[in-house]
Amino acid sequence: MSIESRLSGLVSGLPDGISEGVALGTGLADGYDLYTSPVGEVVVTFNIEGVSSVDLAGAGFEDRFAERHGRRLFRAAPPSAWGKHIPEAMEAGTPGRLPVDLRARTPFQARVLRIAASIPKGEVRPYGWLAREADRPGAARAVGSTMARNPIPLIIPCHRVVRSDGHLGEYSLGGPHNKWELLTHEGVEPARLEELADHHVRVQGDPATGVYCHPTCHVIRGTDQWNVVDFSSTAKARAEGFHPCDQCRPGW
């Protein structure tokens, strides 16, 4: 056999992993890996922009991803530059140094999601608060649907956003019982929140400082709970001479 024909036979198949690497690097596909969370095993997907979604692990997550995002998924290690921040972002319930891919959201949705990510661990805020913080005070419903379609739950903590009447409300990652579970894990007492909502309590004031807060704000939680005064609206708190907390910004 001539050397020329031996050389021409040296091209064989493409080794495994190359076409997947190309698909990830071009943005035609995302990678995924599995992580544990308080609500069980979850799939975290990512691409060159950052983390793109979080979903419950189990049958069908690849199809759901393709349907929602229009891309394929491959199991892969996350980019070494920030992959190590994924577990800490899930534990903290905020992205921190982890980049997130919100390109498919509208600018308003992306802004609302980033504001939601600023809610401290162990506290909750109503939809109306998010709408106000995003400079669209009338857009509480749009905020609600943005939370319902949050692609990155756990890391963008939509579980810390509750209905404007104070009730816990729906949760996209497996249903309301998971919201209950996550808030309990963070030290919020969901049963107490439901009870306050049943009694129409929206804000609570501390007579010692004259400040009123959202009921889960660390400022009001840090005071003597026996003295705390309940209000069914911010107007009623103000009428009693209270002023809004500059930490949780409950509004006028």
Binding other proteins (rule: CB under 8 A), the pick from 56, 57, 74, 105 is 74
Min separation Cβ 75 and other proteins, Å: 5
In the annotation, is 213 catalytic?
no
18 near other proteins, rule: CB under 8 A = yes
Cβ 141 vs Cβ 104: under 8 Å: no
Contact 121, 93 (CB under 8 A): yes
Cβ(73)–Cβ(66) below 8 Å: yes
Minimum distance from CB of 39 to other proteins (Å)?
24
Q: Is 54 helix (H, G, I), strand (E, B) or coil?
A: strand
- Region near other proteins per CB under 8 A, out of 16-24, 148-156, 210-218, 231-239: 16-24
CA distance 229 to 224: 11
Contact 164, 128 (CB under 8 A): yes
Q: Which of 38, 62, 66, 79 binds other proteins (CB under 8 A)?
A: 79
Integer Cα distance of 95 and 99 in angstroms: 7
Whose tokens are 């104070």? That residue is 166
Nearest to 73 by CA among 104, 34, 36, 15: 34
Amino acid residing at 79:
P
- Determine which residue in the list 20, 91, 194, 230 makes contact with other proteins, applying CB under 8 A: 20
Answer yes or no whether residue 17 interacts with other proteins by CB under 8 A.
yes
Interaction between residue 76 and other proteins (CB under 8 A): yes
**Does the protein bind other proteins through residue 100 (CB under 8 A)?**
no
Residue 56, classed as helix, strand or coil, is strand
239 binds other proteins (CB under 8 A): no
Stretch of 69-77, 111-119, 146-154, 155-163 contacting other proteins, by CB under 8 A: 69-77
- H helix intervals, 93-171: 107-116, 127-133, 140-148
Cβ nearer to other proteins, comparing 7 with 241: 7
Task: Specify the stretch interacting with other proteins by CB under 8 A; choose among 26-34, 117-125, 176-184, 211-219.
Answer: 26-34
Catalytic residues, by residue number, are 158
Name the residues that contact other proteins, by CB under 8 A: 3-4, 7-8, 10-26, 28, 31, 48, 74-81
